[in-house]
A and B are shown apart, each in its own frame.
Chain A
Amino acid sequence: MISLFILVPLTSVILLNLFKGSLINKIACWFGMLLTLVQIYLIVFPVTCFWDNLSNPLGNYFILNLSADTLSKVMLLMIGIVTFISLMIGQYTYHEETQKFNFANLIILALSGMNGIVLVTDIFSLYVFIEVVAVASFILICLYKDKAGFESAFKYIILSIAATVFMLLSIVLLFLISGDTTFTAINIASKNPTYGFILVVAIGLFTCGAFTKGGLVPFHSWLPDAHSSAPTSISILLSGIVIKVSGLYPLIRLLTMTGGGNESIKNILLIVGTVSILVGALAALGQNDIKRMLAFSSVSQMGYIVLSLGTGTMLGLVGAVFHMFNHSVFKSQLFANSAAVEKQTGTRDMNKLGGIAQKMPFTGTTSIIGMLSICGIPPLAGFWSKLIIVIALWQTAHYGYAFVAVIASVITLAYFLSLQRRVFFGKIASGLENIKEAKAGLIIPVVILAAVTILVGIFFPFIMEKLIMPVGDILK
């Protein structure tokens, strides 16, 4: 029945458009939230008969081999959480009714696509769903129809096409050696030593595509533009989940099914990861726009995930997935904080802000929690995932990379402290004396996400054992 994860959102997009009207316009966002809540519920409280592949009445009509292993479940949970938050913020920040309706439609379409990406079992379908998500995101980025939006959407389209060309080429090569596009066929073919060279080329090409989609250096240039000029609800979706599901998840799948390639592939991952961490962090240091800073910070954190994958060990994989999960939570929260700041003060320029934590206590406090988590300060969630990444690097004797990962945390702390100082902490800036805390529509999502960050941090052993560690099983 897991096909419902794809089919329900897909049919609801069609139905919503068929019965378009003022009532549907109003409930579209709420309906999307309901879908994501059901999705979260199904992961957190596993309903056995749902996950059972045998009882699939739709199997005869819907011919797609789907399977949900432990990694897919973690990804589904992340997709559910981030999409829910994005819809909540969107529900509150869009005022025009058609805009809100279009937004809800496209998000639900993207939801269907993302669920597809993490559930399919052959690489070509994976590619198709990546394109579904990409098309939805193109339009979402320029939903305000302003110049900056079109420009960055255009940039994203061009780089995205380049990425998919890489991926398609790679899929062709994989098809060539395995005669099929299913993960199992590729896995069997990858064990045949005669295909060694083609395999490495295929992995290399796919990796380039995944790096572009995931916004890693040197393919990152679309990301800061797209994330900062898109409406904040879309920034949350893009930074929180899209770059992970359409960039890093396919990479993890490919690496696990082909045994991780050879040493040079691992080195590429390590180097690209390290460079991304540093470039992202250093670029973030110089930003004055809150959302641009957060976008560069995403580049940097994606670097941590790729770096962790580069170790090629089970612990590295677990650390990468855990960091992905944590990043999706705290980055969504920080973007939501920026939405609250922008809504209440009318600007995102940090030089014009200052000391607003006094007037906006919830936004101020939760932003500190998000910041400390992303900088890897215990006892919050981000600390544990970074710790696992550092342990994984150290165990595989990548001492230099471990040092860079750790030192980059200090740079991360530096730019987030500068954000705190210029926006929240300190004396209130002139002209902002009369601002008020944002409405509940913007506060509830950030409080939920901050609570998740704290709880994951405190109940780290439990979360680790139940949710994250099982991900290592996909290597067996």
Chain B
Amino acid sequence: MSNEILLFCIVFVPVLGSFVLPVIGTFSEKARNLLALLLVAVSLIFSVKLLPIIISGQSITINYPLLMSIDFVLHADMLAIFMAIASSLVGAIIVLYSFGYISHYENRNEYYFMVVLFLGSMMGLIFSGNLIFLFLFWEITSIASWRLIGFFREKAFVLRADKAFLITVFGALIMLIGFVMLYTQTGSFNLLDIKNNLQNNPVSNIVVMLILFGILSKSATLPFHTWLPDAGVAPSPVTALLHAAVLVKIGVYVFARLFISTMTLDVVWHTVVPVIAGASMLVSGAAALKETDLKRIIAYSTISQIGFIFLGLATGNEIGIAGGLLYILMHGLAKGGLFLCAGIVEQNTHTKDITKMGGLGKVMPITLLAFLFCSFSVMGIPPFGGFFSKYLVITGAINNGQMAIAFTFLAGAVLTVLYLLRVISIVFFGELKMSSIKEGSATMLFSVAFLGILSLLGGIFIKYPADVVVSTVQQMMGIIK
């Protein structure tokens, strides 16, 4: 198959395939589950297949001009392919985990439909070379997450789903105004044309501000972060999908795509964005220390770790950006693992309140190990993957001479260690407060163990992801130069 067809399949096999899933689900549960996994795996395998071609310096573009410069453009470069592999990898594991988790709830057809549609439109968003199509896929992910958060149909849950939908759509619409403004300034929605027309002049600050509304709301960063902890009422694989692997990374990805590889930012943003990210990180880190709901703690932790990614990307120097990108991958793996572990705990203890738990490590040894591995990665303990990313991010800030910001983030890293140790000690150690607790099902345990081991291996064999990230950064920065 030619590379263009591969690229097309990465996006449209899951997007179109997702519509078949509910139909198949009415005949056979098993066939639907396997097909769902297959659809997501297609994205992953084809992305990996494209990787060597992209690394060799080529880029693949599908350009189908439509009217008013709303052209259908799919563009695969290093950044896109890196992001696609990172999200479809975690996505595939989450679908696998869902086999066990979701098997005894209602509306399973809708569940798989929405999850695969979500992952497919994520691929569309990543490869979009046109702002309007980027927005289009962006909103499809919002629709899917709205249905998924309200999956259990309780009134309070649906309200929270509505809240998440409203906040992200609000941000997205403000961002759309920013896109329209860019269009009136540069005469095009196509990223390549925008880049050529801007010719390295910094893009106007008001456009950056408008687009930041969308990015911050999608990535759940202060002041638009409140929907994310509330979204914890969704099924655990969904929260893993939303919080860890995919949805919150949309914002940071678009930041990298627009403000690093397409446009040049005004210098002031190299300070403003880290300050927003720092505030967001501290506030949510403190909230995570106080919470007693297991999934809310991890959700707050996500908000605070997104701060690190933003800091890395906003430094504007190669080391910082490399750290930010690396952390997108490492955080996706580790945080996905944490949520899936929380899912196992929640399903077997029937509660999310950590004060009622204790000593679960004795009865759930594999879950405990996976949870530990993933937490170490998020805490940034060597040799886990998270360590290298956080190290690079903070080095990037120091290289910029932003000592105050670097120290704030170091404090934030300490905060991370604190709240994760608190969770681990309360939930897994101490005296067993509940009786007749079992381990999760085999596919669920396999998924979390796999993510835990990946977090460790990602750190030990840091060379391979780092190589990819470094050439990604070189390509992104090369475009600027």
Do residues A426 and B154 form an inter-chain contact, with CB atoms below 8 A? yes
Task: Tell me the complex Cα distance, A413–B162, Å.
Answer: 9
Q: Which of B132, B139, B158 is A426 in contact with, Cβ under 8 Å? A: B158
* A421 in contact with B162 (CB, 8 Å): yes
Contact of B136 (CB < 8 Å), options: A379, A390, A421, A427: A379
Chain B residues with a Cβ under 8 A of chain A: 66-68, 70, 132, 135-136, 139-140, 142-143, 150, 153-155, 158-159, 161-162, 165-166, 169-170, 173-174, 176-177, 180-181, 183-184
User: How distant is the Cα of A464 from the Cα of B184 in the complex, in angstroms?
Assistant: 20
Nearest 5 pairs of A and B residues by beta carbon = A378-B136, A461-B66, A417-B162, A406-B173, A426-B158
Question: What is the bound-complex CA distance between A417 and B150, given in angstroms?
Answer: 12
Interface residues of A in 360-415 (CB under 8 A from B): 372, 375-379, 383, 387, 390-391, 394-395, 402-403, 406-407, 409-410, 413-414
Chain B residue at minimum C-beta to C-beta distance from A375: B169
Q: Chain B's nearest CB lies how many Å from the CB of A365? A: 10
Q: Is A124 an interface residue (CB 8 A)?
A: no
A427 with B169: CB separation less than 8 A: no
- A9 at interface, CB cutoff 8 A: no
Minimum CB distance partner of B106 in chain A: A358
Q: A377-B143, A461-B70 are in contact. List 14 more A-B contacts (CB 8 A).
A: A355-B153, A378-B135, A387-B180, A390-B176, A390-B177, A391-B180, A402-B180, A406-B173, A406-B177, A407-B173, A409-B173, A410-B166, A417-B166, A421-B159
A390 touches B180 (CB 8 A): yes
Is A154 an interface position by the 8 A CB rule?
no
What are 26 A-B interface contacts by the 8 Å CB criterion? A376-B173, A377-B139, A378-B136, A383-B136, A383-B139, A387-B176, A391-B180, A391-B183, A394-B177, A394-B181, A394-B183, A402-B180, A406-B173, A406-B177, A407-B173, A409-B169, A410-B173, A413-B165, A414-B166, A417-B166, A421-B158, A425-B161, A426-B153, A461-B66, A465-B67, A469-B67
CB closest residue in chain B, given A409: B173
**Which single member of A391, A402, A407, A426 contacts B150 (CB below 8 Å)?**
A426
Write the chain A residue with the least CB distance to B172: A377
Q: Is the CB of A387 within 8 A of B166?
A: no
Residues of B near A407 (CB, < 8 A) are 170, 173
Note all chain A residues with C-beta closer than 8 A to B174. Answer: 406
Taking CB atoms and an 8 Å cut-off, the chain A residues in 438-476 that contact chain B are 461, 464-465, 469
Docked pose: A418 CA to B166 CA in angstroms: 11
The distance from the CB of B205 to the nearest CB of chain A, in whole angstroms, is 15
Pick from B66, B161, B177 the residue with the most CB of A within 10 Å. B177
Chain B residues whose CB sits within 8 angstroms of the CB of A421 once the complex forms? 155, 158-159, 162
Q: Residue on B with the closest CB to A407?
A: B173
Alpha-carbon gap, A410 to B174, bound state (A): 10
Q: A425–B184 contact, CB under 8 A?
A: no
Interface centre among A355, A425, A465 (most CB of B within 10 A): A425
B155 to chain A, nearest CB (A): 6
Write the nearest CB–CB distance from A428 to chain B, whole angstroms.
9
With A378-B140, A410-B169, A425-B153 in contact, is A395–B184 under 8 Å at CB?
Answer: yes
Instruction: Please give me the residue from chain A that is nearest to B183 by CB atom.
Output: A391
Q: Which residues of A contact B66 (CB under 8 A)?
A: 461
What's the nearest-Cβ distance from chain A to residue B113, in Å? 11
Considering residues A377, A395, A427, A465, which has the most beta carbons from chain B within 10 angstroms of its beta carbon?
A377
The 0/1 profile, CB within 8 Å of B marked 1, for residues 118-146 of chain A is 00000000000000000000000000000
A414 to B169: give the CA distance in the assembly, Å: 10
Partner of B139, one of A378, A391, A403: A378
Interface residue tally for chain A (C-beta within 8 Å)? 31
Task: Give chain B residues whose Cβ lies under 8 Å from the Cβ of A395.
Answer: 184
Chain A's nearest CB lies how many Å from the CB of B67?
Answer: 5
Contacts of A390 in B (CB 8 A): 176-177, 180
| Given A421-B159, A465-B67, A469-B67, A413:B184 Cβ within 8 A | no
* Distance, CA A425 to CA B70, complexed state (A): 34
Contact call A426/B166, Cβ cutoff below 8 A: no
Distance (Å) between the CB of B357 and the closest chain A CB? 28
B314 CB to closest chain A CB (Å) equals: 26
Interface contact B176-A406, CB-CB below 8 Å: yes
* B180 CB contacts on chain A under 8 angstroms: 387, 390-391, 394, 402
Q: A402 vs B183: C-alpha distance in the bound complex, in angstroms?
A: 14
Task: Check A425–B177 contact: CB distance below 8 A.
Answer: no
With the chains together, A377 CA to B169 CA distance in Å? 9
The residue on A at minimum CB distance from B159 is A421
- A121 to B67 alpha-carbon distance, docked (Å): 32
> Which A residues are in CB contact (< 8 Å) with B169?
375, 377, 409-410, 413
- B67, A426: Cβ atoms under 8 Å? no
Q: Which chain B residues lie closer than 8 Å to A461 at the CB level? A: 66-67, 70
* Complex Cα gap A395–B177 (Å): 12
> With a CB–CB cut-off of 8 A, which chain A residues contact B184?
391, 394-395
In whole angstroms, what is the CA distance A390 to B175 when docked? 13
Tell me the complex Cα distance, A409–B176, Å. Answer: 12
- Nearest CB of chain A from residue B134's CB, rounded to whole Å: 10
CB-defined contacts of B67 to chain A, threshold 8 Å? 461, 464-465, 469
Known: A390-B180, A406-B176, A414-B166. A426 touches B155 (CB 8 A): yes
A390–B154 Cα distance when bound, in Å, is: 37
Give A339 Cβ to nearest chain B Cβ, in Å.
24
| B173/A417 in contact, CB under 8 A | no
Within the complex, what minimum Cβ distance (angstroms) separates A239 from chain B? 24
Q: How far is the CB of A123 from chain B (nearest CB, A)?
A: 33
Nearest CB in chain A: distance from B118 CB, A: 15
Question: What residues of A have a CB within 8 angstroms of the CB of B159 in the complex?
Answer: 421
The residue in chain B whose Cβ has the minimal distance to the Cβ of A465 is: B67
Question: Which one, B132, B165, B170, B176, contacts A417 given CB within 8 A?
Answer: B165
* Cβ contact within 8 Å between B136 and A403: no
Given the complex of chains A and B, what is the CA–CA distance between A255 and B418 in angstroms? 68
Q: Contacts A379-B140, A427-B154 known; A413 to B166 CB distance under 8 Å?
A: yes
Q: A408's closest neighbor in chain B, by CB? A: B173
- In the complex, which residues of chain B have a beta carbon less than 8 angstroms from the beta carbon of A425? 150, 153, 158, 161
Chain B: minimal CB distance from A418 (Å)? 8
Chain A contacts of B170 at CB under 8 A?
A: 407, 410
Report the minimum CB–CB distance from A404 to chain B (whole Å).
Answer: 11
Query: Nearest Cβ in chain A — how far from B393, in angstroms?
Result: 34
The residues of A that contact B177 with a CB separation of less than 8 Å are 390, 394, 402-403, 406
**How far, in whole Å, are A59 and B177 apart by their CA atoms in the complex?**
51
CB distance from B307 to the nearest CB of A (A): 26
Whole-angstrom distance between the alpha carbons of A69 and B208 in the complex?
Answer: 43
Q: A394 contacts which chain B residues (CB < 8 A)?
A: 177, 180-181, 183-184
A391-B179 Cα distance, complex, nearest whole Å: 10
Residues of chain A with a CB closer than 8 A to B135's CB:
378
- Nearest to B136 among chain A residues (CB) is A378
In the complex, A417 Cα to B142 Cα: how many Å? 13
Roughly how many angstroms separate A375 CA and B181 CA in the complex, as a whole number?
21
Please name all residues of chain A whose beta carbon is closer than 8 Å to the beta carbon of B143 when the two chains form the complex.
Answer: 372, 377
Please report the C-alpha to C-alpha distance between residue A390 and residue B184 in the assembled complex, in whole angstroms: 11
A413 to B146, CA, bound (A): 12
Q: What is the CB-to-nearest-CB distance from A256 to chain B, in angstroms, rounded to a whole number? A: 22
Interface 0/1 of A1-13, CB less than 8 Å to B: 0000000000000
Q: How far is B183's CA from A421's CA once the two chains are assembled, in angstroms?
A: 36
- For B155, list chain A residues within 8 Å (CB): 421, 426-427
Contacts of A375 in B (CB 8 A): 169
Bound complex: CA A426 to CA B67 (Å): 40
Chain B residue with minimal CB distance to A397?
B184
User: How far is it, in angstroms, between the C-alpha of A403 and the C-alpha of B206 when the chains are bound?
Assistant: 13
Chain B CB within 10 A, most for which of A378, A395, A402, A406: A378
For B166, list chain A residues within 8 Å (CB). Answer: 410, 413-414, 417
* Distance in Å: Cβ of A355 to nearest Cβ of chain B: 7
Closest to A413 in B: B169
Cβ–Cβ < 8 Å partners of A465 in chain B: 67
Expressed in whole angstroms, the minimum distance between the Cβ of A35 and any Cβ of chain B is 34
List of B residues within 8 angstroms of A406 by Cβ: 173-174, 176-177
- Considering the complex, which residues of chain A in the window 164-210 have a beta carbon less than 8 Å from any beta carbon of chain B? none
- A380 vs chain B, min Cβ distance (A): 10
